[in-house]
Amino acid sequence: MDKYNTLTQEIIDEIKAVSNHVFLGDAISPDYERDEMPIYGTHKPDLVVQARSTKEVSDVMKICYEHTIPVTARGAGTGLAGGCVPMQGGVVMDISQMNHILNYDLENFVVNVEAGVLLKELQEDCITKGLMYPPDPGEKYACLGGNVATNAGGMRAVKYGTTRDYVRAMTVVLANGEITHFGATVSKTSSGYSLLNLMIGSEGTLGIITELTLKIIPAPKATASLIVPFTDLQTALSAVPKFKMAHMNPQAIEFMESDIVKMTENFINKTVFPKEYRGQDIRSYLLITLDGGSQEDLDQQIDQASRLCFENHAMEVFIAETPTQISNAWAARSAFYEAITDEIKLLDECDVVIPINHIVDFLTFVNKIGKDLGLDITCYGHAGDGNIHIYQCSNEMSEEEFMAKNEQFFDVIYAKAVEYGGEVSGEHGIGSSKMKYLENSIGKTNIDLMEGIKRVFDPKMILNPGKVCHRL
Ligand SMILES: Cc1cc2nc3c(=O)[nH]c(=O)nc-3n(C[C@H](O)[C@H](O)[C@H](O)COP(=O)(O)OP(=O)(O)OC[C@H]3O[C@@H](n4cnc5c(N)ncnc54)[C@H](O)[C@@H]3O)c2cc1C
């Protein structure tokens, strides 16, 4: 077990001498104790630094390293795996005030940003310049540093890939306070181990990201979304692999069931999705977005996609083409999480990822296990890449009973996912919440390799203790 020191007044004074942005005691907002899933535990930090520069992060890290004080990096705190919770107290290094878009390099199609810039700000700024930053996780108020630290995915991953595919270079403050740079503006490299890729998805356990060089692309010229209703989920999901087989490349293919759509439309007070068609109840939907280099190209894709949906038993295809229609079509999808958390007293979630040809069988299995255990199960997700969001909910159970059933549920469904060739997390990360399942799925040898890598980056194990592979 790694041992940490507590902050003394002397150490606090040292930190205050290098940072004017220090918060202590009651001045620390309770937000710093948690992320968006407090069920994984909360913990108050002893001190928060709202850093404004790489040098400030470095100066504070040097002090924490010398005195063996734990440090947890934090972006916007929108994580869903307990990642930014300071389990051992100590210092929270809040990067969210390092929030400047520094400059665009349009000859190399990259943008340089500070790590605290919000995803929403970069996406919107790119649009004003005819550009696109393709990664599109549902939570637009996350910081880009947090997106990189969790390798966030999102709706457009099926066509454009995840955050990892857009990180060219980064500035990192190591555990001992040293400032280093990984990667380069170049679009390819074969230059030794990829330290850049080790950092992506490392959840604050290897270093603190302060600046990023991100790849951007020209924005598509035309976009449309299709709302495609089906009589049941299996039929809807069976249509998904057919898009690839038909050489179609939608920007997003999401699946959802009617119950969650109804719950969310009530929550946002807006009705967009049809609930029945020609006297038949609609039970599930695909929400598909297509983009193209011209209106003509897009029109062709809409025709082809509609034909493909009808051939695969879609009840109808509703086309949203204007910006308002498209944003209405996505409004309900974007509010699923808020709608569920608003209605449900006890809930947990996972974002398991499995090969797309097993989604139907896996979901049937998950629903059965949930029912056997008395848990209400709600699923939706990225049908195009097999990343499924499963919510275990209960308004009836005691917290103790819920936690016990929930653990049994996870034990069984993660084992099944691995059997199908899946992985524990497609995009949210491991944090503290999924460590047991990571070890069960990748085995002790691989966990030991991860822990060994961590020890090289962070010999005193002060960065985000108790996360990913670091057992407390
Ligand atoms: C409604 C909702 C929808 C969501 N939808 C998606 C989705 O579609 N796809 C998806 O992938 N995620 C999604 N998420 C999860 C979350 O938004 C992402 O995990 C996001 O990347 C977290 O960013 P953050 O800035 O909030 O990070 P935080 O929650 O602050 O931190 C997350 C982890 O990253 C580390 N970290 C943060 N900043 C740094 C840094 N600068 N250097 C090193 N480590 C750092 C932290 O220590 C922690 O381990 C959703 C969350 C919500 C609430």
Tokens of 329: 């079509």
Is 190 exposed, middle or buried (CB count within 10 Å of its CB: 0-12, 13-18, 19+)?
Answer: exposed
Pocket test for ligand 1, best of 33, 150, 170 (most atoms within 8 A of CB): 150
Least confident of 14-23, 42-51, 329-338: 329-338
pLDDT tens per residue, range 57-94: 999 999 999 999 999 999 999 999 999 999 999 999 99
CB distance 224 to 298 below 8 Å: yes
Q: Rounded to whole angstroms, how far apart are CA atoms 251 and 156?
A: 5
Q: Please, are residues 233 and 329 in contact by the beta-carbon 8 Å criterion?
A: no
Q: How far is the CA of 373 from the centre of ligand 1 (A)?
A: 30
The rounded distance, in Å, linking the Cα atoms of 305 and 311 is 10
426 CA: nearest ligand 1 atom: 11
Distance CA 387, CA 379 (A): 11
- Distance between CA atoms of residues 121 and 23, nearest Å: 26
Q: What are the pLDDT digits (tens) for 122-138? A: 999 999 999 999 999 99
Q: Where in the chain is the domain with CATH 3.30.70.2190?
A: 222-337
Ligand 1 pocket: which of 39, 84, 180 to mutate (most atoms within 8 A of CB)? 84
Structure confidence at residue 2 (pLDDT): 75
User: Burial code of 372-398, b = ≥16 C-beta within 10 A, e = fewer?
Assistant: ebebbbbbbbbbbbbbbbbbbbbeebe
Taking the model in full, what pTM does it have?
Answer: 0.96
> Which are the contacts of 5, defined by CB distance < 8 A and separation ≥ 6?
11, 67, 68, 69
pLDDT band, residue 332 (cuts 50/70/90): confident
What are the residues whose beta carbons fall under 8 Å from the beta carbon of 76, sequence distance 6 or more? 96, 118, 139, 141, 142, 143, 146
- CATH 3.30.465.10-classified regions of the chain: 1-219
Which two tokens mark 62? 């040097």
Q: Residue 244 is encoded by which pair of tokens?
A: 């690839």
Which class is domain 1-219? Answer: alpha beta
CA-wise closest residue to 83 among 114, 43, 53, 54:
43
User: Of all residues in the chain, what percent carry a pLDDT higher than 70?
Assistant: 100
The CATH architecture annotation of domain 344-419 reads 2-Layer Sandwich (3.30)
What pLDDT score was predicted for residue 277?
Answer: 94
Look-up of token digits 């790119």:
126
Alpha carbon of 445 to ligand 1 centroid (Å): 27
For residue 38, count CB atoms less than 10 angstroms from its CB and return exposed for 0-12, middle for 13-18, buried for 19 or more: exposed
- Cβ proximity of 472 and 88 under 8 Å: yes
CATH 3.40.50.720 fits 222-337, yes or no: no
- Atom nearest to 199 CA in ligand 1: 43
* Planar angle of CA 26, 176, 79, nearest 5 degrees: 50
Nearest CA to ligand 1 atom 18: 79
When pLDDT is averaged across residues 316-328 and rounded to a whole number, the result is 92
Q: What is the mean pLDDT of the chain?
A: 96
CA distance 52 to 56: 7
pLDDT at 319: 95
- Checking if the pLDDT of 1 tops 90, the result is no
**What is the SS3 assignment for the chain?**
CCCCCCCCHHHHHHHHHHCCCEEEHHHCCHHHHCCCCHHHCCCCCCEEEECCCHHHHHHHHHHHHHHCCCEEEECCCCCCCCCCCCCCCCEEEECCCCCCEEEEECCCCEEEEECCCEHHHHHHHHHHCCEECCCECCCCCCEHHHHHHCCCCECCHHHHCCHHHHEEEEEEECCCCCEEEEECCCCCCCCCCCHHHHHCCCCCCCCEEEEEEEECEECCCEEEEEEEEECCHHHHHHHHHHHHHCCCCCCEEEEEEHHHHHHHHHHHCCCCCCCEECCEECCEEEEEEEEECCHHHHHHHHHHHHHHHHHCCCCCCEEECCHHHHHHHHHHHHCHHHHHHHHCCEEEEECCECCHHHHHHHHHHHHHHHHHHCCEEEEEEECCCCEEEEEEEECCCCHHHHHHHHHHHHHHHHHHHHHCCCECCCCCCCCCCCHHHHHHHHHHHHHHHHHHHHHHHCCCCCECCCCCCCCC
Residue 79 CA, ligand 1 centroid: distance in Å:
4
Provide the pLDDT confidence category of residue 140 given band limits of 50, 70 and 90: very high
pLDDT in tens, 406-434: 999 999 999 999 999 999 999 999 999 99
Q: Whose CA is closest to 187, among 156, 157, 165?
A: 165
Across 432-450, average pLDDT = 96
Do 248 and 304 touch, CB atoms closer than 8 A? yes
Residues with CB under 6 A from ligand 1: 35-36, 72-80, 83-84, 95, 115, 137-139, 142-143, 145-147, 149-150, 152-154, 203-204, 208-209, 337, 427-428, 464
pLDDT of residue 18: 98
Q: Does the structure show a pLDDT above 90 at 273? A: yes
- C-beta of residue 363 within 8 angstroms of C-beta of residue 240: no
Q: Which of 129, 105, 71, 110 is nearest to 467 (CA)?
A: 71
pLDDT tens string 161-216: 999 999 999 999 999 999 999 999 999 999 999 999 999 999 999 999 999 999 99
**Sheet with 47-50, side-by-side order of all strands:** 22-24, 47-50, 91-94, 71-74
